[in-house]
Structure 1
Amino acid sequence: MKYIGILLDNIVYRGIPYGKTGYENLSFYEDAAKLYGLIPCFFTLKDITPDMNEIKAYVRDDLGSYKKKNIPIPRVIHNRGLYFSKKHQSHLQSLVKKGFILFNQWNRYRKLEIYHTLTKYDELTENLPETRKATKDNIRLMENKYSKLILKPDSGSLGNGLMKIEDYDHKKLLTIFSHREKNWLRIPFTKDLPEMLKKRISSGNYIVQEYIPLVLYKGNPFDMRVSCQKNHLGEWQMTGVVGKVAKDESFITNVAKGGTVYQLGELLHHTLLDEKKVTARIEQVSLKISKILEEHFSGLADIGLDLGITTEGIPKFIECNGRDLRYSFRNANMHDIWKNTYATPIGYGKFLMDRG
């Protein structure tokens, strides 16, 4: 049987012998690999170099325990680690040049770069909220066009650093989290941007985005995480979609910030929207976005898209996550889909092996 490589973060890797692998469920990789006649092996970037013939990786033994074992280097590797430095990227590229097939090689993308890539395609015009680099001039320009705006870091997030500007009693109102006071602040202003906001955007790492009028669930806004992956046929598929609802009096749906996950059908049942039509539109837009991004970002094969739905049922793109942690499906009791988010990339790995 052939090995398929799973490239992990150091933290996840160190937890393997103790069964503490955080967001990664190794048993799902094992089940999927068995289905395709493969053996998964787990390692980190420092364990592999282009000139090696063997690698020491964690492999599950007959008793179900993980042991480090010397094995032939797998020719196909699924990157589940976050390796962003120039040194790491050079290392990864050296593996590709040597002939290794590495999918999801780069899995952190700047939001503005993704947005500008997608705006080149007219068929996505209605699905893209206007997004700009968050400068004082751009914020002013956007304030004059929209009654509500969202500001967030251009890279990373998990809900960290999000802010909102909205019309309020003939003024503007900034909602921002104060790390000093460990609480949310609501700051009214008129012409000059609040100092706290100016300081936050001075890093140059923020974007400002048109606020999407999301549909509500029991008075709270919700959006969706859509798992899009390439499968055993080498084709993109929507593996699953799950809803994320903001907690009371919050505009942030991220689970890490108190959001709650639900199956989409349950959320749409509380709206006037047709579940089948909305789901079909979500799938159509998500697959279109995935295929476009793959054309521009080589090796893309496993992403999590955040989409919102307007009250008219129009999907709106929010952002692309290059390494979907997948646990939202678990939390929503969507066990089969959660498991499939692991199985589908393994099937794609088998496709790449067979294709040579």
Structure 2
Amino acid sequence: MGQKLVGILLNAAVHGGVPRLKTGQESLANYEEAAAAYGLTPCFLKLSGIDTKSGFSRAYIKGPHGYRSQIIPTPEVIHNRAIYDPGSSGVQRLLRQGIQVYNICNRYGKDQIHGLLEQNQELQTFLPVTSAGMSGLKEMMDSYPDLILKPCRGSVGNGVMRLTRISGAGQWKWSYSPSGSRRWYSVPVNQGAIPRALRARLSSVPYLVQERIPLAEINGRPFDLRITVQRGWGGDWQVTGMFAKLAAPGGFVSNIARGGEALNSSFALEKAFPGEAAARIRMSVLSLSLAIARELEQSLPGLADIGLDIGITGSGRLYFIECNGRDQRYGFQKAGLGSVWKESYRRPMGYARYLYEEAARHNSY
């Protein structure tokens, strides 16, 4: 395999940390090792450093003395690890130049993803009942005793709230966490007089209102599964791995950034279910994850690397929770799954090699 450049497109803040090896959850070493396995050289880009008119870009490439900024021909294949709004003009310019960008958009609204999956009759059964906004909240409070409220554009559990009915006379408990805090606060709410603070939150940004899934628990702590689904060499979707996210004691949000704990998924499933049931659930989760990825790619161009959150009830029923367009991957490391963590970098680099080979094959005709 001839050595070729593969672009890794980062947000400006992360990109600026490359020469100091300060890139947050992005492992530069994993990118180097994974790309080398496919005869590729990774170069780390930011959108403002790409000049589509000249065809050249400023990028960080590793050399004998660490990462240095260089002017290079813009790579023909770029893996997007940055967050841009759908239809970003910068990304669209790259596509018009014939550059193959995969994971073109990394942040989709929860409402958009739910709407796409809802169109597939076979997947509808895995979706929690969902509504939106204040009108949706009032309808859902009439029908369900336990609700989760999620900002459509939120991430790592920020802005998630819970409403739990505590009596048959319209009395509820509202649980929320202030921005940047891991502490949860609860206040009583009367269904007929929603507090101004809650109404303000729902009116400030779009919110989904969903029935709360009664998740399986380990020692009284609910958990769900994060499944990394990626396209690799050959182009087909594959499940790279999964781990369990266990909510903090007394919490209901499993996000690691909100105090959750990453566990080996096999350990978590076998703690919550008998051995045979745990194995059956695991296989069902794998099958569902692939079905979701294949459905989403029909409507989301360039999709190639996603993280899915799947919930399991105590009775073993599966529910789709959400799709993460920029899977952070570090949960594998925290769960003690170092080889899977490395594989989650290796597979996208295999997909880059596949795109190069497909382009060469097409050009040879």
Tell whether the structures are fold-level matches, with TM greater than 0.5: yes
Q: Which residue of 2 aligns with 1:231?
A: 232
User: Using the alignment, how far apart are the partners of 1:180 and 1:320 within structure 2?
Assistant: 22
User: Using the alignment, how far apart are the partners of 2:178 and 2:37 within structure 1?
Assistant: 49
Amino acid at match of 2:124: T
User: Using the alignment, how far apart are the partners of 2:179 and 2:45 within structure 1?
Assistant: 36
User: Using the alignment, how far apart are the partners of 1:253 and 1:264 within structure 2?
Assistant: 14
Please list, as runs of the form range in 1=range in 2, the aligned pairs for 1:1-356 lying within 5 A after superposition. 1-61=3-63, 63=64, 65-84=66-85, 89-135=88-134, 137-170=135-168, 171-178=171-178, 184-273=185-274, 274-356=277-359
Q: The residue matched to 2:158 in structure 1 has which SS?
A: coil
The Cα of 1:54 is off from its aligned counterpart by 2.6
Q: The residue matched to 1:144 in structure 2 has which SS?
A: helix
The Cα of 1:69 is off from its aligned counterpart by 2.0
User: Using the alignment, how far apart are the partners of 1:190 and 1:51 within structure 2?
Assistant: 58
User: Using the alignment, how far apart are the partners of 1:190 and 1:33 within structure 2?
Assistant: 55
Count of matched residue positions in the alignment of Structure 1 and Structure 2 = 352
User: Using the alignment, how far apart are the partners of 2:77 and 2:10 within structure 1?
Assistant: 14
- Between stretches 306-315 and 251-260, larger displacement belongs to 306-315
Residue ranges of structure 2 left out of the alignment (5+ in a row): 360-365
User: Using the alignment, how far apart are the partners of 1:17 and 1:91 within structure 2?
Assistant: 24
Q: The residue matched to 2:51 in structure 1 has which SS?
A: coil
Residue ranges of structure 1 left out of the alignment (5+ in a row): none
Q: Give the structure-1-normalised TM-score.
A: 0.95
Q: Deviations over 1:158-204 (max 9, x none)?
A: 11111111120322221123569975122232322222211110124
Q: Give the structure-2-normalised TM-score.
A: 0.93
Amino acid at match of 2:230: Q
Q: Deviations over 1:79-98 (max 9, x none)?
A: 00112286xx1111111011
- Check conservation: 1:178, 1:185, Cα contact below 8 A: no
Cα RMSD after superposing both structures? 1.7
- Check conservation: 1:112, 1:131, Cα contact below 8 A: no
Q: Which residue of 1 aligns with 2:362?
A: none
- Check conservation: 2:158, 2:179, Cα contact below 8 A: no
User: Using the alignment, how far apart are the partners of 2:42 and 2:329 within structure 1?
Assistant: 19
When residues 188 and 22 of structure 1 are mapped into structure 2, their CA distance, relative to the original with a 3 A threshold, is same
User: Using the alignment, how far apart are the partners of 1:65 and 1:331 within structure 2?
Assistant: 27
Q: Deviations over 1:40-84 (max 9, x none)?
A: 1111001112222332211111x3611122222210000001122
- Between stretches 210-219 and 176-185, larger displacement belongs to 176-185
User: Using the alignment, how far apart are the partners of 1:297 and 1:25 within structure 2?
Assistant: 26
